[in-house]
Structure formats: C-alpha cells, structure tokens
Amino acid sequence: MHSIMPVFGTRPEAIKMAPVINALEDSPLFRCIVTVTGQHRAMLDQVNELFGIVPDHDLNILQQGQSLSGILTRTVDGLEALFAHTRPDVVLVQGDTTTSTAAAVAAFYHGIPVVHVEAGLRSGNPLSPFPEEANRKITGQIASLHLAPTRASKANLLAEGVNAADIVVTGNTVIDALLAIVGKELPFSDPELERVAATGRKVLLVTTHRRENQGDAMRGVGRALARIADAEPDLVIVLPAHKNPVVREAVLPALAGRPNVLVTEPLAYGEFTRLLSLAHLVLTDSGGVQEEAPSLGKPVLVMRDNTERPEAVDAGTVTLIGTDEDRIVTEVDRLLNDREHYDSMATAVNPYGDGSAAARTVAAISELLGVGSRLGEFTS
C-alpha cells in the first residue's frame, strides 16, 4: 500500500482537497497521511469537520499578523521534522498558497515526488495575485505530476515546457465539493441569515480578502457597499468577513449602522454554499467563489483587474470590474436594475468541473506510482 501525504493549511485548500482525501481513503491502494499546517485555524477546522477529515499531523503554524516568510519557514521546518520519521511516497499539494509551495519545496528537498492539484493557473502578472502567481509557478517547476483543472491551464503548462505526459486535465475538485454539499440545505447557525432566507429579499453576497486589495482599495469597497445599501433599501448585503483583521479594519467601518447590511463570521462551507445558491448576485475577489458561482447560475462581479480563471469570463457569467468605488456601484446597479443584462449573466455553466475531478486525481496518482492508469480527461 502506498502512502500519500496531502499537506494543506487554508480554507480553500481544505475545500478542494477534501474530495481527494475522501477518494484516497476509499481506495484500497493508498494510505492517507493527512497533514495540516494550520496556516488558517478556525477557517480550516470548520471545513475538515464538515468533510469528516481528522488530520494525522498538525504543524499549528498560525500567528496573528503572520508574514509570508513566517508561513514559509514554519511550514518547511515543521515538515522537515515530520519527514525525519514519516516518509510518504507522494506529497500532494493544492493550488497556490504559501502552505502549498512551502510543502512542495520541503518534499522536493527530500526527494519525495510532488503532485500538484489545480496546476497551471496563470494570470501572467507576478504581482497579481500576490504572492499566489509566483507560488504556483514555483510548485509547477518541481512537481512530478500536474493536475490541471481545465484545458486552458494545461496549455499554460505546455507553454512553459512541462512534459505533456506529466499533465492530466481533471476538472477542479471544488466542483466535486460543491456538488457533494450544496443540495443538503444545511441550516444557518446565524438566526439573522435564516430570517434573510425566509423573507426572500434579494441578496448581494460579498467576500473580499486578496492581499493586493488590502488598504485603500478595500476601504473603497466598504464605501461602495455603503452607497449600494443606501440606494437599494430592499436589497440585503451579506458579507461573511474573512478572519484577517486587516480586511475587517478596512471594509467594516463604512458599513456600521446600516440595517440592510449583514456582516457574519466566516460561514461553514455548507452554509456558504446555501447562501450562494439563494443569492441574486455575487461580488468577490475570491478564486474559489469565482469557480463555484457560475455552476449555480449566479452573476459574479470580480473585484480584480485580471484573473487566472478566464473560462467563466469567456462564458459571460463573470465580469472583471477592478476595485474602483464608482465602478463597483455602477456595475451592481446595472445588474440589479437591467433585467436583460442580469439574464445574460445568470446562465448556469460548468467550465471548471463535472464532479469527477477527485476520481481522476486518484487514478492519475495510481498511474504515477505504477499501480493503475489514468481516466479520461475532463472536457467542459
């Protein structure tokens, strides 16, 4: 039996790794050594709990106001100590966080093959998203197997000289997670949210956390939301606030005292996907939310100037609007008040996955280890 060590540390990695871990644990071929860095804490633990994942090792690295170098060094040091007595056959990392790149580097230094889930996303700008664009490129340099979610991400890897035989297009595992959870209609733990759901009022769902948007841009987002709330009293703006105090200090002051703005703690994934499915539209700078909302037919305004996820932009359900305060107000107003425009964006599309990404991932790993063969690739 081969041992596979998934290493992850943040909320989106946990969500996207969960279907893979569940599939590995169901396979008689593999033993899974689940390792979390704890780059996030509450936001990580609530995902593991939902998917029934109990980590075997927890590096517990989170510090308030942590630096990128601190995340990197504490992860490498923690894995170094772990690899001294636990040597997996493969280390599995997901995406582009500093946890994932640090884990890939630590494994590479120990001669352990790295498998990269969600490989090949590229914005083309090393400063946006920062540091994620550089993180995923570094991991791409040292991975033995690249699991690209889409054909476009495979093309990015080929253009960088990655061997075609080392790439498999799997679809994104976030769609596996979404499909497993969204139908469950889990209750909201915040009674205010249950009231919002019961009234049937239009919901604008907002999330923001990107490092390059912190500061002035995020303060502008707060002011834009306040203007929208005042102009649209029948609308409810729901903002599950990221745990990062830097984000909260920038966005929340402008929203204080507005009766149609509901700020919540980070929602458990089941609650968030329920909110996503009842929302009228979504305003976000999140990567994962950009991938999930299109499959539920929700128009998404992305508060970034570029994206490494062009598929839903091409399909017409996502628009990149940047972070300019006036532009945010104008674009939300247009979606709320121009029915034709809304309908043109509210088409359910699934460019990111079909729910079988985890099965393709496990099959590709079995081929890498010589105990199986890959499945047919995802085509959107």
In the list 68, 159, 256, 371, the residue contacting ligand UD1 (rule: CB under 6 A) is 68
Residue 115 sits in the site that holds ligand UDP (CB under 6 A): no
Contact 358, 176 (CB under 8 A): yes
- 307 touches ligand UD1 by CB under 6 A: no
For the chain, the first-to-last Cα distance in angstroms comes to 34
- Give the number of residues written for the chain: 380
Name which position in 42, 159, 231, 371 contacts ligand UD1 (CB under 6 A): 42
173 binds ligand UD1 (CB under 6 A): no
Beta bridge partners of 301: 283, 319
In 195-245, DSSP assigns E strands to 203-207, 236-240
Measured distance CA(198)–CA(192) in Å, rounded: 10
Query: Measured at the alpha carbon of residue 150, what is the angle toward residues 156 and 120, in degrees to the nearest 5?
Result: 35
Measured CA to CA, the distance from residue 342 to residue 299 in angstroms comes to 7
Binding partner of 288, given ligand UDP, ligand UD1, none, CB within 5-8 angstroms per partner class: ligand UDP
- Using rule CB under 6 A, residue 81 touches ligand UD1: no
132 is catalytic: yes
Per-residue string for binding with ligand UD1, 205-224, x by CB under 6 A?
----x-x-------------
Catalytic residue among 13, 40, 74, 96: 96
| Least Cβ distance, residue 177 to ligand UDP (angstroms) | 7
Whether 25 is catalytic is no
Span 226-245, contacts to ligand UD1 by CB under 6 A:
243-245
In sign, the C-alpha dihedral spanning 40, 45, 47, 51 is: positive
Query: 212-241: which residues touch ligand UDP (CB under 6 A)?
Result: 240
Q: Where are the beta strands (DSSP E) in 21-80?
A: 30-32, 35-36, 57-58
CA dihedral 151, 155, 161, 167 (to 10 degrees): 0
Residue 10 binds ligand UD1, judged by CB under 6 A? yes
Q: Are 147 and 121 in contact (CB under 8 A)?
A: no
Which residue, 8 or 30, is less far from ligand UD1 as judged by CB? 8
Cα separation of 303 and 239, whole Å? Answer: 14
What does the DSSP 8-state code read for residue 351? T
d(CA 300, CA 335): 10
Choosing from 206, 289, 296, 358, the residue that interacts with ligand UDP (CB under 6 A) is 289
Q: Which of 113, 288, 310, 351 binds ligand UDP (CB under 6 A)?
A: 288
Decide: is 304 part of the binding site for ligand UD1 (CB under 6 A): no
Does residue 211 have an active-site annotation? yes
Contact with ligand UD1 (CB under 6 A) among 27, 97, 128, 207: 97
Q: How many residues of this chain interact with ligand UDP, rule: CB under 6 A?
A: 17
Asked whether the beta carbons of 88 and 4 are under 8 A apart, the reply is: yes
Q: Is residue 308 near ligand UDP by the rule CB under 6 A?
A: no
Asked if 378 interacts with ligand UDP (CB under 6 A), we say: no
Residue 170 touching ligand UDP (CB under 6 A): no
- 272 makes contact with ligand UDP (CB under 6 A): yes
113 binds, among ligand UD1, ligand UDP, none (CB under 5 to 8 A by kind): none
The reply on whether position 93 binds ligand UD1 by CB under 6 A is no
Q: Kindly determine how many residues on this chain lie close enough to bind ligand UD1 according to the rule CB under 6 A.
A: 21
Respond yes or no on whether the N-terminal peptide bond of residue 299 is cis (omega within 30° of 0).
no
Note whether 356 binds ligand UDP by CB under 6 A.
no
What is the distance between the alpha carbons of residues 174 and 183, in angstroms, rounded to a whole number? 15
Coil, helix or strand for 169?
strand
Which residue has 């969600």 as its token pair? Answer: 118
Site residues (vs ligand UDP, CB under 6 A)? 11-12, 15, 174, 207, 209, 240, 266-267, 269, 272-273, 286-289, 292
Catalytic residues: 96, 118, 132, 209, 211, 242
